[in-house]
Amino acid sequence: MIDSHLHFWEYSADEFPWIQGDLAPIAKDMLPKDLCPQLTDNIDGIIAVQARPCAAENDYLSDLAQQYALIKGIIGWFDFEQDADMQLDAFKRNPKMKGFRHMLQDEKDPSAYMTHHKGFNLGVEKIQQAELLYGVLIHQKDLDAAVQFCERHDRYELVVDHLAKPKMYSKTGFDSWVNMMQRLVPLKHVNLKISGLVTEGGPNCKAEDFQAHVDTALELFGPERLVWGSDWPVSYATHSYAKLMDFWQQWTRHWSESERLQVESGTAQRLYKL
């Protein structure tokens, strides 16, 4: 099983200002040595995803990947304010670099950024030309612009993190989310990552709170366009790794074995070229 979404860091308050409130328990170093004792025996590979918006993050994750064979790939940070070709030339020399993302959700106006930022759109175009992934990190409120963004950038695979952080505990919100997901279905290069949901649901959420979202994702996109990720250690602030695995077992209890295997490893192997 591939865990397609984890983070590692050496904590400092200045670099991680978003770690506060319910996330306070993870305001400390969170390293592979802290993760490994929690992993279940069926996890045989992980994808490390950027957590800091700085060039040093890519070197940090690359160093970790050299130390830990369990790290099969990296989704690094990309600076869309700088020259894209220079960055890609450097990254092409690192076989563990599978793609990029940045903290799109933290932009002042993510929808406007996706629509109008020339450096961002040019950078994603070049990332796709290099056959590297781009991870779309947004909240549900920005899905309309994200759909249009995905329509423009169709040269290579895109992965929408955390099911686009759906608005929870709202029938209207769920219906709107389903409508947006339906608009993404014809875009065959768009994949969804089932991850990060417990952070959206809050510390008291239960597996059933997300069952409709997971069922909808499978129904619309099929297992070939879905991957699973724990979002450790962000999720660890409120839910243990064992609890996340329990949630996964509950969500997929009615799936066929082939569907489960595809989402647990097959899609990740394809997307991350493992």
Q: Would the CA dihedral through 51, 54, 110, 3 be positive or negative?
A: negative
> 198 with 206: CB under 8 angstroms?
no
For position 243, what pLDDT does the model report?
95
Residue 161 has what pLDDT? 98
CA 74/CA 91 separation, integer angstroms? 11
* Of 46, 13, 5, residue with least CA distance to 29: 13
Best CATH choice for the domain 2-271 from the list 3.60.20.30, 3.40.50.300, 2.60.40.10, 3.20.20.140? 3.20.20.140
CA–CA gap between residue 93 and residue 103 (Å, rounded): 24
- Give the number of other CB atoms < 10 A from CB of residue 182: 12
CA–CA dist 61, 189 (Å, integer) = 26
Cβ-contact 223, 259 below 8 angstroms:
yes
State whether the Cα torsion 133-76-166-203 is positive or negative: positive
Quote the pLDDT of residue 90. Answer: 87
Q: pLDDT at position 41, please? A: 84
Is 98 in contact with 123 (CB distance < 8 Å)? no
Residue 180 contacts residue 140 (beta carbons within 8 Å): yes
Contact of 229 with 4, CB cutoff 8 Å = yes
* Residue in the structure block whose two tokens are 């595809």: 262
| Three-state DSSP state, 64 | helix
Residue-level pLDDT at 264: 98
Query: What pLDDT does residue 242 have?
Result: 94
CA distance 27 to 12: 8
DSSP 211-268: HHHHHHHHHHH-GGGEEE---BTTGGGTS-HHHHHHHHHHHTTTS-HHHHHIIIIIHH
* Separation of alpha carbons 233 and 241, rounded Å: 9
**Could you list the pLDDT tens digit for every one of the 274 residues in the chain?**
999 999 999 999 999 998 988 899 999 999 999 999 999 888 999 999 999 999 999 999 999 999 999 999 999 999 999 999 999 998 888 999 999 999 999 999 999 999 999 999 999 999 999 999 999 999 999 999 999 999 999 999 999 999 999 999 999 999 999 999 999 999 999 999 999 999 999 999 999 999 999 999 999 999 999 999 999 999 999 999 999 999 999 999 999 999 999 999 999 999 999 9
pLDDT, position 92? 83
Q: What is the pLDDT of residue 71?
A: 97
Domain extents for the chain?
2-271
Rounded CA separation 171/188 (Å): 27
Structure-token pair, residue 241: 């790794």
Q: What is the pLDDT of residue 7?
A: 98
Residues recorded for the chain = 274
